[in-house]
Amino acid sequence: MMKRALIVCVLWLAGSFGHAQNPVDSSHGSKTLLLALENAWNKAQLLHDSKALDGLLAGTFISTDNDGTFMTKAQFLADNSDLSYAASLMTNSDEQVFLYEDAAVVAGTYHAKGSYKGKPFDHYGRFTDTWVYANGKWLCVATHTSTLKK
């Protein structure tokens, strides 16, 4: 009897661990939708469209940039309005989406090119965005970027 209980416990734990490691698509989340939201984010930044960006971010959103800068949602949106940052290209690649019931993590690489205060830049980096499904839609609650060397 004790051996059977131990086997059931081990199988239950293995199943729980497997679910956490290989999350399945939930009824309200799809990888395609989250990638479309990531692309909408890039477009909003390219166009300095803080209103569109606002609709993608949770009220508690936080950002940690590649230089260590930490911003709240209000600070992030204000930074997006800064016209001295003029990106001409902002794309993502190598994206992976990890879905969990009401949460998702999107990780990948980005390429941003343009000028800042008249000086050209060409950045490559990695990003990790954490999304939460709340009130019928996906909202990003946190982003983190790190620079890659060319």
* Domain contains 77: yes
Helix, strand or coil for residue 54?
A: helix
Residue 86 contacts residue 114 (beta carbons within 8 Å): yes
Q: What percent of the chain has pLDDT over 70?
A: 80
* Domain contains 17: no
pLDDT digit string (tens) for 113-140? 999 999 999 999 999 999 999 999 999 9
* Domain contains 6: no
> For residue 23, is pLDDT > 50?
no
* Domain contains 19: no
Residue 148 contacts residue 126 (beta carbons within 8 Å): yes
Of 22-36, 97-111, 130-144, minimum mean pLDDT range? 22-36
d(CA 3, CA 38): 49
> For residue 63, is pLDDT > 70?
yes
* Domain contains 137: yes
Give the pLDDT of residue 149.
82
Higher pLDDT, 5 or 119: 119
The structure's pTM equals 0.80
* Structure token digits, residue 75: 């600070």
Residue 34 contacts residue 106 (beta carbons within 8 Å): yes
**CATH number for 144:** 3.10.450.50
- Number of C-beta neighbours around residue 76 at 10 A: 20
CA atoms within 13 A on the CB side of 49: 11
87: confidence class by pLDDT, cuts 50, 70, 90: very high
* Domain contains 15: no
The domain of 70 spans 26-148
* Domain contains 87: yes
* Domain contains 2: no
43: confidence class by pLDDT, cuts 50, 70, 90: very high
**Which residues, including other chains, have CB under 8 Å from residue 59's CB and lie 6 or more apart?**
73
Q: Which amino acid is at 81?
A: S
How many domains does the chain fold into? 1
Strand duo 103-116 + 119-134: pairing: antiparallel
Residue 63 contacts residue 70 (beta carbons within 8 Å): yes
